[in-house]
């Protein structure tokens, strides 16, 4: 069975976490989606690119989540989430998925 690329998991976690929180009006549920996807992506990052890369990409994932909030005030919620998800996906692909 083919594995889902870590870039897709990370971007899906950011977009999915926001979508779940928004549509269910349950921020903790969205946070759970964000956390599970982040943990799954981090596991793949560690396997494919090593611990230092996994740490850096995990930090980028958290910074993207946090940074999407002030960015949303300037460009809107969905554009912000999609932008940071794309940035994390690109970084993940460049560091870990491209090698697979």
Query: Torsion angle, CA of 11/100/3/36, rounded to 10 degrees?
Result: -40
Which pTM does this prediction carry?
0.94
pLDDT along the chain (100 residues), means of 10: 87 98 97 98 95 97 97 97 98 90
What pLDDT was estimated at residue 3? 86
What pLDDT was estimated at residue 100? 66
What pLDDT was estimated at residue 99? 75
Considering only CA atoms, which of 36, 4, 22, 6 is closest in space to residue 81?
22
Rounded distance between C-alpha atoms, residue 17 and residue 26, angstroms: 10
């Amino acid at each position: 069975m083919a594995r889902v690329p870590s870039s897709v998991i990370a971007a899906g976690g950011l977009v999915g976490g926001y979508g779940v929180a928004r549509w269910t009006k349950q921020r903790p549920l969205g946070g759970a989606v964000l956390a599970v996807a982040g943990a799954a992506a981090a596991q793949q990052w560690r396997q494919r690119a090593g611990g230092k890369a996994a740490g850096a990409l995990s930090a980028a994932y958290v910074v993207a989540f946090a940074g999407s909030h002030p960015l949303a005030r300037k460009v809107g919620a969905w554009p912000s989430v999609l932008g940071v998800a794309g940035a994390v996906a690109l970084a993940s692909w460049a560091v870990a998925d491209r090698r697979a």
